[in-house]
Amino acid sequence: MRSSPPSLIGALFVRDLRLALRRRTEALLPIGFFVVAVALFPLGVGPEPQTLRQIAPGVIWVCALLASMLSVSQLYASDFADGTLEQLLLTGGSTTLIAAARAAAHWALTGLPLVIAAPLFGLMFDLNAASLRILALSLLLGTPILSLLGALGAALTLGLRSAGVLVILIVLPLAIPALIFGTGAVAAVDAGQSASAHLSLLGALLIVTALGVPVATAAALRISVE
């Protein structure tokens, strides 16, 4: 008996969260990397407020991108190794929904904590309240894109040697538009301009990615299992 789409997504989402709780060190690694990397930049470039404000959007976004890539290469690896992934594909459930649920769980474990933590670190870069709000909003729109693209890269490199390096080489070029729009939104607010254009483009990119990437990920998973 096939599960309904909402119940399938919910079951896979909860399963991934439970597995992450059993491997807390791996789950906390991206967050730890983000915290350390962002905290080191003010120490390296000096305490000049104007300099910190200028580099803040790029630094936080690049650190968020790299942090999200740390765990994404293992997104399907363990299930592929023990045969769980093949069983999931044989259940008759939608492979696209399986890919979407896995990307959503990755975002909840990695992207959401970064969204919450980023404004706190924005204070270290002397960002004002308006810039902090836009920073959080841009990451809220952008980090799901990173998780979806990371899931696609993980599916394309499934079972290959040096998969982690290949995922980064695949995902980084695809993530550049999100990086540009996200940093541009914060920079625009800091310059006294409106961030609506950048946020609109980032939102449109999220919609396109959410609609298209799970389908491509599902196709890559089917090819890898076969």
Classify residue 110 by its DSSP letter.
I
Average pLDDT over residues 77-82: 77
Give the residue from 174, 172, 177 showing the smallest Cα distance to 141: 177
What are the helix (H) ranges across the chain?
Answer: 5-22, 24-45, 49-72, 77-82, 84-90, 95-106, 112-122, 129-156, 163-190, 196-225
Instruction: Report the distance separating Cα 35 and Cα 43, nearest Å.
Output: 13
Instruction: Report the distance separating Cα 202 and Cα 178, nearest Å.
Output: 6
Residue 138: what pLDDT?
94
Q: Which residues make Cβ contacts (< 8 Å) with residue 48, sequence separation at least 6?
A: none
The pLDDT tens digits for 133-183 are 999 999 999 999 999 999 999 888 887 777 778 888 888 999 999 999 999
Percent of the chain with pLDDT over 90: 29
The pLDDT tens digits for 16-37 are 778 777 777 777 788 888 888 8
**Residue-range domain boundaries for the chain:** 5-225
Instruction: Report the distance separating Cα 201 and Cα 203, nearest Å.
Output: 5
Tokens linked to 13: 């989402």
Residue 181: what pLDDT?
95
On whether the CB atoms of residues 135 and 122 are closer than 8 A, the answer is yes
Residue 1: what pLDDT?
40
Instruction: Report the distance separating Cα 189 and Cα 128, nearest Å.
Output: 10
The pLDDT tens digits for 113-122 are 999 988 888 8
On whether the CB atoms of residues 198 and 188 are closer than 8 A, the answer is yes
Does residue 40 register a pLDDT over 50? Answer: yes
Q: Three-state SS for 143?
A: helix
